[in-house]
Structure 1
Amino acid sequence: MAGGPTVQNDLVEYGFRRVIITITAVLCALLEIVDTTIVNVALKQMQGSLGATLTDVAWVITAYAIANVIVIPMTSWLSQQFGRRNYFAVSIVIFTVASFLCGNSDNIWELVIFRFIQGMGGGALLVTAQTIITESYPAEKRGMAQAIYGMGVIVGPTLGPPLGGWIVDNWSWPYIFYINIPLGIIAAMLTLMYVKSPKYGEKMKANQVDWWGMLFLILFIGSLQFVLEHGQQDDWFEDPLITGLSVLSLFGLFAFIWRELVYEHPIVNLRVLKDSNLRIGTILCFIMGFGLYGTTFIIPIYTQQILGWPALDAGLLLMPSSIATAFMMPIIGQMIQRGIPQTYMVATGFLVFFLFTYWMYNIMTPDTGTENFFWPLIMRGVGLGLLFVPITTMSLSTLKGKSIGEGAAFTGMMRQLGGSFGIAIISTFITRYTQSHRVNLVAHEQVTDFAVQQRVSQIQHGFMAQGIPANEALDKAYKAMEGGVLRQATVLSYMDIFLYLGILFLICIPFILLIRRGKGKVDMSEAMH
């Protein structure tokens, strides 16, 4: 850590001050994490009020995630340049102001831009909050500090969907952003009053900053996300913009890798990836993010769009899963401390997650009941519990000193990237698979078919019983049949996504066996910048 042991001791707090600093840091981490998942149950309302497509509204989530991924690697440098307390306070202010602007958005792209700015402030909150809590506790109590922070991080995703659902059902979607404003103001004031900054060494000069690295990273991630989001509706490579951005994304990736390997002060130290455990760990983090955020995105949409659930019920549905993950965390910690190999836990976690997706694949229908979801979602929670901590400790287990911090930043960044890729790809696949299933279903439901004619006649008579004239009732009957076909096609596309997601997790298991055994325990306080 910059500044050595003396600075570390200077930052240790006791009594009331430490309680206030801990509450402030956990509050900020919670704000950031809750905002990652709180919008999931409000997407349908956003679509309606802003006149957006599902593909467009997915950008509300991905813009936030992209901004997080871009800012996380820069956080250490920005803290050193401006002082940690100032940087943390400014990040809270940016997050709070952007929250207000998100709530006031008049169209979908305005909302996406303000979500990106909110994500730039939010990315800093998560990383810096962990550092502030760790440094406020003496070395012998750092394990407890990590546990306090960890519980806050676990509660965040649990709170997001039901809180979002309750707000949307009782008020309207802008209030999911407005609730950040009073909490943000309190957190900013407490930060300026109580949080200290470490005394860093000499600041990096402006001409040493890796501006090109930042630019190439933004080019790579931004272009790739646009291609993933809009490729389906724009006919992929038939569209010159999609083709151009695909080339730009590839250029950004190669230029970013080259720049980070040759520059003296890289914004992301790629050399740390020489460690084979970290290389495999970052891929596993990416896939875990894909499954974690992908399922958190698709389940509320399915329950609201197909089953017609209110937003609060859709949010509450994910509670058992998150509680199961939180329950698993201390058990997993104990298992790691007792020397049970993380490879076994991770392999089991991927297998359990596959079983969850296969179970979901089997229970999805246009009218699945609440009771059908409980045990599959408990299984999802257990699977994620077996993945979160073991993947991180396994990835960092053969690293030492400063490399642990760089490796930890990598695993966090790849988890976020996996999430944004997952949401983008899933929303694209829903559109594509729904169209192909609709074509197949319509091919099997010819108007000349006797069973189809009987069904149309039944629906028509149902409308006529309500006093609607025969011709109008027939039109309504055909529309109802078309709606039913589209609903069934959408369910089939969701089933496909769960099945393919499960296969992806199953394929990972053999790669886990390639991981070398490192030291079982990683001192996460070493990972702090």
Structure 2
Amino acid sequence: MEQNSLVEYGWRRAIITITAILCALLEIVDTTIINVALNDMRGNMGATLSEIGWVITAYAIGNVIVVPLTSFFSQQFGRRNYFAASVVLFTICSFLCGNATTMWELILFRFLQGVGGGALLVTSQTIITEVYPLEKRSMAQALYGLGVIVGPTLGPPLGGYIVEHYSWPYIFYINIPIGIIATMLTLKFVKSPKYGEKKKASEIDWWGIVFLAGAVGSLQFVLERGQEEDWFNNSMILAFSVMCVAFIYLFIWRELTVKNPIVELRVLKDSNLRVGTILSFIMGFGLYGSTFIIPLYTQNNLGWTAYQAGLLMVPSSLMTAFMMPIIGQVLQRGLKQKYLAAAGMFLFFMFCFWGFRILTPDTGEGNFFWMLMLRGLAMSMLFIPISTLSLSTLKGQQIGQGAAFTGMMRQLGGSFGIALITTFMTRQNAFHRNNLIEHINPNNPLFQQKYQGMVSNFIQHGMAPNQAKAAALQAMDGSLMGQASVLSYMDVFLYIGIMFLICVPFILMLKNAKAKVDMSNVH
């Protein structure tokens, strides 16, 4: 079978694995490392809050557009060449981002960096899957999973450290030496599979590329900008939403009718891949959603620095890193993937429920430790079983196409997660604030007691009575907002947890892939 010629052994396999993980890490760390530097960039560039948001949006759009096209480009240019070119593009754009002098330069280079980065993510998964023999695929997914799960959590503390000790351009410069090493290793060691004939320019499905870029680009735009622009009350968001639906329809129609489709949708006939893409979406939602809200909560509500907030997430990542190879071994010994995935979903629900229970306006650092360790364990139990389950019944070229689908759905799950969480929290903040305000009236003895106590305290500190009354009301309003905010975070934890809990019975109903994997072993 064609994929067996790509299997490597010994130190060559070790070098290829390290190269692929390095590239996946480069891409993913860059998605989150920038979050903590946005304030510094804004001051430096004289940009508004919504302009600086584009630095994240542009990268995500470039990323999501290129992920589904990766399999096609690998076939067209040879996987090694395409992978090396992507690393080079990513590295050059990192240098250009650090040197950008205007906001729009930075946004353009971030978009191009995202185009290079999207390929790194999926191609590195395909490379790792193919250099390991079939019986060791679970182990391969475990090693790749290290990069994908640890990456988002390494970003914030690393970014916080660089911003505190150096300046924001170094967030981009840090990629350059790694990029150079990865390019050299790729050209020396990675092989390209024989795909058969390249397509001539006239045979390439250009319309498919246009429709796909339009669909995922406009969807990503709506998700990233919707909350700031008040969703469908804004004509621009409405126009992009209509465009997105139209492009999705045209893309599906085109891919199912054209002779050489740019993305092989028929690969989704595989029932394991279909379920795997949905589970990847939910996993992305939980992974990026929790990586987003916990630092946000500790910085906004508890007053931590970006570096402290980032460090909080590190033990959880180390737990995942430690557990990944163990989970890979357990799968290799024959434990069914669906049982591990179901257990992972249940543990993630437990983590969310724990978060729901412990949040207060002054939760201490110690309260988060074991809760986040549980998250690390849950993530290690989700990633490998879902990846191997998704790709287990695919062969040859289909592996790359399947990896592109699961990769895209994981990224889109993260974008959906963050967009939904920010919108939901804004709504819940207003809802809880209104509920709490109902208790603030002159007839409520508890309110009166607290209010009078604060007024007399301010007067004792030398304030005039009318100033003291205004200050007391302001302080109470501040504490009210703090409480409303905590209640909103609690709601987010609860609902994400319920979403994961609902998945458990569906995973257990899956046909098991293990027997099918053994069948493909015969080829």
TM-score tier after normalising by the smaller chain length: 0.7 to 0.9
Alpha-carbon distance in 1 for matches of 2:259, 2:401: 15
**Aligned-residue offset at 1:356:** 0.9
Give the AA of the match of 2:94: S
Deviates most, 114-123 or 41-50: 41-50
- Residue 115 of structure 1 pairs with residue 116 of structure 2: no
| 1:388-435 CA distance string (max 9 Å, x none) | 111122223333443333222221221111111111211222222222
Q: Which residue, out of 237, 241, 258, partners 1:242?
A: 237
Is 1:392 matched up with 2:392?
A: no
Select 1:430's aligned residue among 406, 425, 431.
425
Residue of structure 1 equivalent to 2:179? 184
- 1:46 to partner: Cα distance: 5.5
1:37 partner SS: helix
Question: Paired residue for 1:488?
Answer: 483
- Which segment drifts farther, 306-315 or 408-417? 408-417
Once the two structures are overlaid, the 10-residue window that deviates more, 71-80 or 494-503, is: 71-80
Asked whether the 8 Å contact 2:138–2:384 carries over to 1, the reply is no
Among 123, 128, 136, the alignment partner of 1:128 is 123
Q: 1:233–1:33: structure 2 CA closer, same or farther, 3 Å change rule?
A: closer
CA distance in structure 2 between the partners assigned to 1:108 and 1:480 by the alignment: 38
- Whether 2:288 is the aligned partner of 1:293: answer yes
2:506 matches 1:511:
yes
Gaps spanning 5+ residues in structure 2: where? none
In the other structure, the counterpart of 1:306 is 301
**Structure 1 residue identity aligned to 2:405:** F
Q: 1:271 aligns with which of 266, 290, 306?
A: 266
**Does the 8 A contact of 2:224 with 2:415 survive in 1?**
no
Q: CA deviation at 1:187?
A: 3.5
Pairing 1:38–2:49 present: no
Asked if the contact 1:165/1:311 (under 8 Å) is kept, the reply is yes
Q: Which amino acid aligns with 2:261?
A: P
Match of 1:479 in 2: 474
C-alpha distance after superposition, 1:35-93 (max 9, x if no partner): 1232344456567766655x776654454333222212222332343444443333223
| CA separation of 1:290 and 1:146: change in aligned 2, threshold 3 A | closer
Q: Is 1:337 paired with 2:332?
A: yes
Count of residue pairs the alignment pairs up: 519
- Distance in 1, matches of 2:505 and 2:182, equals 45
Alpha-carbon shift at residue 319 of structure 1 (Å): 1.6
Distance (whole Å) between structure 1 residues aligned to residue 237 and residue 432 of structure 2: 25
C-alpha contact (below 8 Å) 2:67/2:404 kept by paired residues: yes
Q: Give, in angstroms, the shift of residue 310 of structure 1.
A: 1.3
Q: Quick check: 2:122–2:403 contact (8 Å CA) kept in 1? A: no
Report the Cα offset of residue 149 of structure 1.
4.6
Give TM-score, length-normalised by structure 1: 0.85
Provide closer, same or farther for how the CA distance between residues 513 and 88 of structure 1 changes in structure 2, counting only shifts above 3 A.
closer
Conserved 8 A contact 2:138-2:332: no
1:65 is matched with which residue? 60
1:48-87 equivalences under 5 Å are 52-53=48-49, 60-87=55-82
Change (3 A) 1:86 1:276: closer
Name stretches of at least 5 consecutive residues in structure 1 with no aligned partner.
none
Query: CA distance change for structure 1 residues 341 and 86 in 2, over 3 Å: closer, same or farther?
Result: closer
2:310 to 300, 309, 315: 315
CA contact (8 A) 1:460 1:473 kept: yes
Q: What is the Cα deviation at residue 293 of structure 1?
A: 0.7
Tell me the residue number matched to 1:98.
93
Worse-matched range after superposition: 475-484 or 278-287? 475-484
Number of the residue aligned with 1:409: 404
The answer to which of 153-162 and 320-329 deviates more is 153-162
Q: Give the secondary-structure state (helix, strand or coil) at the position aligned to 2:514.
A: coil
2:139–2:328 contact (8 Å) kept in structure 1: no
Q: Separation in 2 of the partners of 1:371 and 1:105?
A: 41
Residue 300 of structure 1 and its aligned partner are, at CA, apart by 0.7
Q: 2:435 — aligned with what? A: 440
Spell out, residue by residue over 1:484-507, the C-alpha distance to the aligned partner (whole angstroms, 9 max, x if none).
Answer: 222222222111111111111112
Residue number in structure 2 paired with 1:370 = 365
CA contact (8 A) 2:146 2:320 kept: no
What percentage of aligned pairs have identical amino acids?
Answer: 63
- Quickly say closer, same or farther: Cα 1:362–1:114, change in 2 above 3 A: farther
Give yes or no for contact 2:66–2:115 (8 Å, CA) kept in 1. yes
Distance 1:488 1:172, change over 3 A: farther
Mapped partners of 1:398, 1:20: distance in 2:
27
Deviation of 1:292 after TM superposition, in Å, equals 0.7
- How has the CA–CA distance of structure 1 residues 445 and 107 changed in structure 2, closer, same or farther, with 3 Å as cutoff? farther
Change (3 A) 1:58 1:498: farther
Counterpart residue type for residue 486 of structure 1: M
CA separation in 2, counterparts of 1:277 and 1:134? 17
Structure 2 partner of 1:165: 160
**Contact 1:66–1:221, Cα closer than 8 Å, also in 2:** yes
User: Relative to structure 1, is the Cα distance of residues 43 and 362 closer, same or farther in structure 2, using a 3 angstrom cutoff?
Assistant: farther
Question: Aligned residue for 1:347?
Answer: 342
Q: How does 1:453-468 map to 2 (within 5 A)?
A: 453-460=448-455
The CA distance in 2 between the partners of 1:493 and 1:211, in whole Å, is: 45
TM-score computed with the length of structure 2 as normaliser: 0.86
**SS of residue paired to 1:387:** helix
Over 3 Å counting, the alpha-carbon distance change for 1:462 and 1:67 in structure 2 is: farther
What is the root-mean-square deviation in Å for CA atoms of aligned residues?
Answer: 3.5
Partner residue in 1 for 2:199 = 204
For the residues of structure 1 that align with 2:335 and 2:131, how far apart are their CA atoms? 31
Deviations 1:184-234 (A, max 9, x none): 344345555666656764322122222222222222222223333444444
SS at match of 1:39: helix
**Cα deviation per residue 1:455-511 (whole Å; 9 max; x = unaligned)?**
445445555566555554544443333222222222221111111111111121222
Alpha-carbon distance between aligned partners in 1 of 2:289 and 2:73, rounded to the nearest angstrom: 31
- Taking a change above 3 Å as real, the CA distance of residues 402 and 469 of structure 1, as seen in their structure-2 partners, is same
Provide the C-alpha distance between the structure 1 equivalents of 2:293 and 2:306, rounded to a whole number of angstroms: 13
Instruction: Report the CA distance shift for 1:205/1:494 in structure 2 as closer, same or farther (over 3 A).
Output: same
User: Using a 3 Å threshold, how does the CA distance of structure 1 residues 512 and 20 change in structure 2: closer, same or farther?
Assistant: closer
Whether the aligned pair in 2 keeps the contact of 1:336 and 1:521 (CA below 8 Å) is: no
CA contact (8 A) 1:339 1:520 kept: no
CA distance in 2, matches of 1:225, 1:322: 27
The correspondence for 2:323, drawn from 328, 337, 350, is: 328
Moved more, 260-269 or 303-312: 260-269
Q: Which moves more between the two structures, 354-363 or 41-50? A: 41-50
Return the letter of the residue paired with 2:408: M
Matched residue SS, 1:307: coil
Q: Residues 459 and 172 from structure 1, CA distance in 2 versus in 1: closer, same or farther, beyond 3 angstroms?
A: farther
Inter-partner Cα distance in structure 2 for 1:290 and 1:437: 24
Q: 1:331 to 1:485 in 2, by over 3 A?
A: same
Amino acid at match of 1:478: L
Q: Distance between the aligned counterparts of 2:363 and 2:404, measured in 1? A: 40
